[in-house]
A and B are shown apart, each in its own frame.
Chain A
Amino acid sequence: EVHLLQSGGGLVQPGGSLRLSCEASGFSFSNYAMTWVRQAPGKGLEWLSAISPSANTRYHADAVRGRFSISRDNSKNTLYLQMDSLRAEDTAVYYCAKNLAEGLATYEYWGQGTLVTVSS
């Protein structure tokens, strides 16, 4: 059974940093692209970042490019999102997700979500 277990959220001051983790199990992690998506309170879903299976290709949305960085450790079956220079508007529930298949950037499996609150 596929499982994505997230950790690392919490309260952080504006300008601060956090690192989110997403530990995968139940599938061959190194064979799949992975993605981060967020949802601000009462808002819709927002695609943030994606990384190829071997980590040689990474994509970031304009809203977070230069501040957030996606990475992965295939030896640990773990996906990461390093978030720097956090702003109040980054307050959201953050989800990791497994790409459906090669070349299909939609998501059949999601983590449980982790809340990030940026506030002084």
Chain B
Amino acid sequence: EIVLTQSPGTLSLSPGERATFSCRASRSVSGNYLAWFQQRPGQAPRLLIYGASSRATGVPDRFSGSGSGTDFTLTISRLEPEDFAVYSCQHYDTSSPLTFGQGTRLEIK
């Protein structure tokens, strides 16, 4: 099983700042089959990024993904008030059971 470890656990920032989230895999994720989700309290997850760097439909271009192999990053270039939420990564390399990271909470500083 590929274990995904996200850091930091909590990120405290202000609107307008840049946010960077890390997702590290215990072994290489083939095909860059890595996705990022946003989840607000009481809501279902929202797909932001798939294929490590492709934005999902309707996702603003302030969200970007990068990385390959075992190290992946989600960046929000300039935080808006609605961006404060929990962010989770997921691998969908079907050579291994599908797993999610434990999540990073983005809170208002």
Given the interface pairs A95-B44, A106-B50, A108-B56, the reply to whether A44 lies near B102 with Cβ below 8 Å is yes
B76 in contact (CB, < 8 A): no
Main SS at interface, chain A = strand
In Å, the complex CA distance between A61 and B77 comes to 36
B98 in contact (CB, < 8 A): yes
Chain A residues within 8 Å of chain B by Cβ, number = 20
Given the interface pairs A106-B35, A108-B47, the reply to whether A44 lies near B92 with Cβ below 8 Å is no
B44 A47 Cβ-Cβ under 8 A: no
A119 in contact (CB, < 8 A): no
Residue of B nearest to A35 (CB): B98
In Å, the complex CA distance between A28 and B64 comes to 30
A111 B88 Cβ-Cβ under 8 A: no
In Å, the complex CA distance between A96 and B56 comes to 18
Q: Contact check: which of A45, A62, A103, A105 meets B100 at CB < 8 Å?
A: A45
In Å, the complex CA distance between A105 and B44 comes to 17
B20 in contact (CB, < 8 A): no
Q: Which residues from chain A sit less than 8 Å from chain B, CB to CB? A: 43-47, 50, 61-62, 95, 100, 103-108, 110-113
